[in-house]
Structure 1
Amino acid sequence: MADRNSRGPTGSGSAGRKRKRGKRPPQPVYGAIDLGTNNCRMLLAQRTQTGFHVVDAFSRVVRLGEGLHANGRLSDAAMDRAVEALKICRDKMGRRQVAKHRSIATQACRMADNGEAFLERVREEAGIEFELITPEEEARLAVHGCVDLLDPDMDAALVIDIGGGSTELSWVDLAEWRKRGGPDSGGRPPMRSWMSAPIGVVTLSERFPEREDRLAWYDEMKAFARRLIKTPRGARAMRPVFAEGRAHLVGTSGTVTSIAGVHLQLPRYDRSRVDGLSMGLDEAEAACRHLRNMDVTGRSREPTIGSDRAELVLAGCAIYEAVAEAWPAAHLRVGDRGLREGLLLNMMRKPKRRRGRRGKSQTRSSDPQASASRGETDASQTQAPARTDAASDE
């Protein structure tokens, strides 16, 4: 008796039966949520040969850290705003059938006495498990998210990530990266040093309320930022590289994209023109000066600033200028990207293969405990009820 499983096309022409080729299954969707001191941001994306393709995105100003400097706690109103935004993220992930996601919280939850209790509330009400990451990982994720903005022809870069509650700086050795093959190697550039300062656009603006003597007020903010932004030991050796003009700056925050939008005099924000823009440091300084000469009403009328950023953008400019003056460089590269992109790229990286003892190629373990230790969550565990009216808010 013939084996039923052996049936197939046995002849040629019309006598043979052609097998139908099955459709290639769609690429899984990955999700990344960054809950910061000022914003809640999410990206949903699929892997491509060169990176990833965004299939959905969400961003909302929630001001989670509002009043944190004065009270040491997250306020009820701020937590309510954040939870409602995260419910929208949950619904979007459910509709897109996200295969894996990672959700991180940063400085506001690190500083607040009730930060961990708030993240437990998020888990219960929005069904999203958050990881409270360290400042070091925050710095590394910022670098990973903007690797393609690094100029491999330069010898060093300083990546600046100005957040709502903290500022991370990362010194990257591009000369060593070039020796290792640079972008074509697929490897990441070595970080020689990093630091985190407990100031951001929210905390600095709350510490220094705006005054009529705007220039003196701005200089006070810049001086305060300068005192808190220390030079770590590993970065000192890179000073000659900056002094000789062989380094550049990379900005990955809303502050720097706002500066770029003002410089370009955009009638409305256009990511395609801002992301990847290279600016001279004098051009960035001129944009900061333009904003500094306006009151909050004037800044709110700037098309790329608006009312959401009008009260905060000068604090960000003061932090940026404090860094740029301490580390003068050839130019500033602007990135409309950040932690979410770093999270996605990390999750999408193919597992490295290593040689086993017997010479056989092996793949690193992908068991659930290993994934959990990296803060990655299987989306099947995320609650995703029916769409609510609020979910239509993009």
Structure 2
Amino acid sequence: MSDSKSTMKLVEYLDREGNLSRKGIDKLTGYVGEARQLVDRMKCEEMISFATSAVRDAANGEAVLDHVERETGIRLEILSGEDEARLTFLAVRRWYGWSAGRIINLDIGGGSLELTSGEDEDPEAAYSLLLGAGRLTHEWFDTDPPDRKKIALLRDYIDAELVAPAKHLRALGEADLAVATSKTFRTLARLTGAAPSSAGPRVRRTLTAPGLRQLIAFISRMTAADRAELEGVSANRSHQIVAGALVAEASMRSLGLEQVEICPWALREGIILRRLDGDLDGKG
């Protein structure tokens, strides 16, 4: 078994016209090439390759996919925002099981926010909004620490974007279990007192609305370098954790959630589970 990760932060390479820059394309191509080499070395029978918000929403997305394929031989599959949300929900459902009842799930990525609610493995409603932590940091913050007026304006913007999705999700019924996935939520939970990753995936971790509000007041006045010194905050994510915290707080507030459980499974596991389901059904 092997685990290898590389932080892309591709939304930071989008220009004003929405195109992924040459530097961003080269970074993505290099990573896909490295992944291909790892797959070959480990003699894997199959490589599942996909891209999400940054490439999906880039104006030159198709050209990016063509370039990566020419250079690496790998054609990345673009997941729609809804598919991304639904696959993440599948992973959450499998982790908690049927006894969890109605689940509502929140997932903050670099480029988008996914919201889902349902009682089955496939959610009744799935939303993908352009409210990712990296995207909002790139588009809204130009000082370090962020300007207080910009933070207030961003709060208002996030609230406005959440009105319609939150209204629909709440109309489906109260959740028996409120869940959050993604590195952003895990980091926020850690900063508010949750167990570290070294404690293992089965340790219960939660994030509360009061704790999150206190955390925002604290980290929004710090520089990215100072935030990177906090336990649980990686240097490559410290600059975007404020925007991520604002999205998390607004999402929980709009949905009336005072607490969310942190699920260790998310999109990656959802994709694997769906692929395994296909094999079991004779579709693989």
Q: Indicate the TM-score class for this superposition, using the shorter chain for normalisation.
A: 0.7 to 0.9
The structural deviation recorded for 1:154 is 5.2
Mapped contact 1:167–1:198 kept (Cα < 8 A):
yes
TM-score (norm 1): 0.64
How far does residue 236 in structure 1 lie from its aligned partner after superposition?
A: 4.3
Q: Is the 8 A contact 2:87 2:270 kept in 1?
A: yes
2:269 to 341, 350, 375: 341
CA contact (8 A) 1:257 1:274 kept: no
Whole-Å separation in 1 of the counterparts to 2:265 and 2:194: 21
* Equivalent residue, structure 1, for 2:35: 89
C-alpha distance after superposition, 1:18-59 (max 9, x if no partner): xxxxxxxxxxxxxxxxxxxxxxxxxxxxxxxxxxxxx22221
Displaced runs of 4+ in structure 1, greater than 6 A?
A: none
| Distance in 1 (alpha carbons) for counterparts of 2:30 and 2:218 | 36
Unaligned stretches of 5+ residues in structure 1? 1-54, 178-187, 354-363, 372-394
Q: Is the 8 A contact 2:118 2:124 kept in 1?
A: yes
1:257 to 2:186 alignment: yes
Report the Cα offset of residue 286 of structure 1.
3.2
Contact residue 83 and residue 125 of structure 1 kept, 8 A: yes
Distance (Å, rounded) in 2 between the aligned partners of 1:276 and 1:103:
31
TM-score normalised per structure 2: 0.87
Residue in structure 2 matching 1:199, options 119, 128, 131: 131
Aligned 1:13-28 pairs, distance under 5 A: none
Q: 1:350 to 1:108 in 2, by over 3 A?
A: closer
Q: Distance in 2 between matches of 1:276 and 1:70?
A: 42
Going from structure 1 to structure 2, the CA distance change for 1:210 and 1:66 (only over 3 Å counts) comes to closer
Compare the two structures and name the one with the higher helix fraction: 2
Report 1:214-229 matches (<5 A). 214-229=147-162
Cα pair 2:113 2:128 within 8 Å, conserved: yes
* Post-superposition offset of 1:319: 0.8
Question: SS of 1:98's equivalent?
Answer: coil
Q: CA deviation at 1:260?
A: 1.7
Q: What one-letter code is carried by the residue in structure 2 that aligns with 1:82?
A: L
Answering whether residue 164 of structure 2 is matched by residue 235 of structure 1, we say no
Q: Counterparts of 1:300-311 in structure 2 under 5 Å?
A: 300-311=228-239
Q: CA deviation at 1:234?
A: 4.9
> Residues 234 and 213 from structure 1, CA distance in 2 versus in 1: closer, same or farther, beyond 3 angstroms?
closer
Equivalenced residue count is 282
Does the C-alpha gap of structure 1 residues 100 and 306 become closer, same or farther in structure 2, counting only changes over 3 Å? closer
Whichever of the two has the greater Rg, that structure is 1
CA distance in 2, matches of 1:274, 1:262: 18
8 A Cα contact 1:223 1:322, kept in partner: no
Which residue in 1 is equivalent to 2:9?
63
Alpha-carbon distance in structure 1 between the residues aligned to 2:146 and 2:49: 41
Residues 32-47 of structure 1 mapped to structure 2, 5 A cutoff: none
Q: How does 1:380-391 map to 2 (within 5 A)?
A: none
Distance 2:133 2:5 in 1: 17
Structure 2 residue ranges without an equivalent (≥5)? none
Q: Deviations over 1:135-188 (max 9, x none)?
A: 111111111222244475554322112111111111122xxx5xxxxxxxxxx2
Look up the SS of the partner of 1:58 in the other structure.
coil
Pairwise CA RMSD:
2.7
Question: Structure 1's 327 and 148: CA in aligned 2 closer, same or farther, altered over 3 A?
Answer: same
Kept in 1, the 8 Å contact 2:162–2:254? The answer is no
Secondary structure of 1:250 counterpart: strand
Structure 2 CA distance, aligned partners of 1:325 and 1:274? 27
Aligned-pair identity (%): 22
What letter is aligned with 1:73? N
- The one-letter code sitting in structure 1 at the alignment partner of 2:128 is S
Match of 1:167 among 104, 109, 113: 113
Conservation of the 8 A alpha-carbon contact between 1:172 and 1:191: yes
Q: How far apart are 1:259 and its partner, in Å?
A: 0.5
